[in-house]
Amino acid sequence: MSLISAAPSPVGHLSDRHFRSIAQLIERQVGIRLPPGKRIMLEGRLHKRTRALNYSDLNEYVEQLFTADQLDHELTHLIDVVTTNKTDFFREPQHFSFMREIAVPALLSVRGRRTCNLKIWSSASSSGMEAYTAAMVLDDMIRTGSRFQFRILGTDVSTAMLQLAKEAIYPRDALAPVPENLAKRYFLSSVDRSRQEVRMVPELRRLTHFMRMNLMDASYPIDRDVDIIFCRNVLIYFERETQRKVVEQLCTHLRPGGYLLVGHSESMIHSAVPGLKQVQPTIFRV
Ligand SMILES: C[S@@+](CC[C@H](N)C(=O)[O-])C[C@H]1O[C@@H](n2cnc3c(N)ncnc32)[C@H](O)[C@@H]1O
């Protein structure tokens, strides 16, 4: 018989008041809207955190959250819990074809003979698959004769996702959308075969950096001559005015002629941003 009793499983639902206070906090901090329809989802995600902290009830967790010294520390975890981090290698693959066939040649053609160092920014990078997909495509272009160098920055508000992105270790299944020749070239298999994991090769990890950045911040600590910004599948969580502000601010970090790529359900965002030209439904240029 075990003498260690399991932590009691948190029960119950969030009260209206507690749901509202969490929803307001999250929207203020990271822009993500949590309308009443998301309540069950939020409760489900908070259960795990509540259990980890040994609270017996979701409402107790929220009460504690708002006590003086808790919030700063707990907010990082709360953000990890409420963000939706779904991503894939080669997600929305036409963006990577566009980058290879149109965007990079166009960006190189205006730089003349100078060695060109392209800057790519994955601005809601999740676990890094978007940034590493760009790295694979660009490196493959160089191997097949294009003359440029590149650096990639991935930013996200979720600390847990950034940790995964830096480690660059993924389940082998995640390679399904990666063309076979690229998967062979750019991923190392775990020495322990039973782990079914792969890791991005160090050559591309060295060119890809990750740091925490909140798209809601009043200014972004990022260069102002970025060539291509990916901002995909994050704007949908923001309300319209927040989307507009974020896109407007992102554009101030693009070099003239630079590209902004958004997710397929986000194609309408450009209308209120001056100077942004639509090239394709989800591709914009300044
Ligand atoms: C659904 S994932 C999209 C990942 C990737 N861009 C893609 O399309 O595959 C959304 C990401 O946006 C991040 N995110 C949400 N709000 C954010 C904010 N205010 N600032 C920065 N990142 C944010 C989440 O942590 C999550 O990793």
Interatomic CA distance for residues 23 and 39, integer angstroms = 9
Interatomic CA distance for residues 38 and 15, integer angstroms = 14
Domain identity same for 107 and 78 = no
Pocket test for ligand 1, best of 234, 235, 253, 265 (most atoms within 8 A of CB): 234
In a domain, 57, yes or no: yes
Task: Tell me the three state secondary structure of residue 285.
Answer: strand
Identify the pLDDT of residue 190.
86
In a domain, 2, yes or no: no
Residue 240: how many CB atoms within 10 A of its CB? 11
- Stated pTM of the model: 0.94
> Is 164's C-beta closer than 6 angstroms to any atom of ligand 1?
no
Per-residue burial over 25-44, b if 16 or more Cβ lie within 10 Å, else e, is: bbbebbbbebeeebbeebbe
In a domain, 8, yes or no: no
CA of 85 to the centre of ligand 1 (A): 6
| Atom number of ligand 1 nearest to Cα 129 | 9
CA of 193 to the centre of ligand 1 (A): 31
Last residue of a domain, one of 47, 82, 117: 82
Domain identity same for 37 and 98 = no
Q: pLDDT tens digits, residue range 133-143?
A: 999 999 999 99
Q: pLDDT tens digits, residue range 143-152?
A: 999 999 999 9
Identify the pLDDT of residue 193.
82
Residue 254 structure tokens: 């693009």
In a domain, 3, yes or no: no
> Is 158's C-beta closer than 6 angstroms to any atom of ligand 1?
yes
Domain identity same for 143 and 274 = yes
Interatomic CA distance for residues 16 and 33, integer angstroms = 16
Domain identity same for 272 and 181 = yes
Cα 67-16-77 angle, rounded to 5 deg? 45
> Is 31's C-beta closer than 6 angstroms to any atom of ligand 1?
yes
In a domain, 4, yes or no: no
Domain identity same for 30 and 130 = no
In a domain, 32, yes or no: yes
> Is 30's C-beta closer than 6 angstroms to any atom of ligand 1?
yes
Higher pLDDT, 188 or 11: 188
Banded pLDDT at 11 (limits 50, 70, 90):
low
Last residue of a domain, one of 55, 82, 109: 82
Helix residue ranges, H only, the chain: 16-30, 39-52, 58-65, 70-82, 94-98, 104-109, 129-143, 159-167, 180-186, 202-205, 240-251
What DSSP state is assigned to residue 193?
Answer: G
Domain identity same for 49 and 145 = no
Lowest-confidence segment of 23-27, 222-226, 267-271 by average pLDDT: 267-271
Domain identity same for 47 and 118 = no
CA of 270 to the centre of ligand 1 (A): 19
Q: Please check the confidence at residue 75 and state whether its pLDDT lies above 90.
A: yes
Interatomic CA distance for residues 249 and 245, integer angstroms = 6
In a domain, 10, yes or no: no
Residue 59: give its domain's CATH number: 1.10.155.10
> Is 246's C-beta closer than 6 angstroms to any atom of ligand 1?
no
Provide the mean pLDDT of the chain: 92
Last residue of a domain, one of 27, 51, 82: 82
Domain hosting 147: range is 94-285
Identify the pLDDT of residue 153.
98
Pairing relationship of beta strands 169-171 and 226-231 according to DSSP bridges: unpaired
CA of 173 to the centre of ligand 1 (A): 22
Domain identity same for 197 and 254 = yes
Lowest-confidence segment of 120-129, 198-207, 236-245, 270-279 by average pLDDT: 270-279
Q: Please check the confidence at residue 1 and state whether its pLDDT lies above 60.
A: no
Q: Count of domains in the chain?
A: 2
| Atom number of ligand 1 nearest to Cα 79 | 25
Q: Please check the confidence at residue 82 and state whether its pLDDT lies above 80.
A: yes
CA of 135 to the centre of ligand 1 (A): 19
Q: Please check the confidence at residue 102 and state whether its pLDDT lies above 60.
A: yes
Domain identity same for 124 and 53 = no
Q: pLDDT tens digits, residue range 232-260?
A: 999 999 999 999 999 999 999 999 999 99
Residue 189: give its domain's CATH number: 3.40.50.150
Interatomic CA distance for residues 263 and 283, integer angstroms = 9
Residues 6 or more apart from 197 whose CB is under 8 A from it? 169, 170, 171, 172, 189, 190
Q: pLDDT tens digits, residue range 228-238?
A: 999 999 999 99
> Is 146's C-beta closer than 6 angstroms to any atom of ligand 1?
no
Nearest residue to 236 via CA among 83, 108, 55, 25 = 83
Domain identity same for 148 and 230 = yes
127 touches 165 (CB < 8 A): yes
In a domain, 56, yes or no: yes
Lowest-confidence segment of 20-34, 86-100, 260-274 by average pLDDT: 260-274
Domain identity same for 57 and 135 = no
Interatomic CA distance for residues 221 and 181, integer angstroms = 36
Domain identity same for 41 and 170 = no
**Catalytic positions, please?**
45, 156
Lowest-confidence segment of 87-101, 186-200, 235-249, 266-280 by average pLDDT: 266-280
Identify the pLDDT of residue 268.
72
Pocket test for ligand 1, best of 34, 75, 156 (most atoms within 8 A of CB): 156
96 touches 90 (CB < 8 A): yes
| Atom number of ligand 1 nearest to Cα 91 | 9
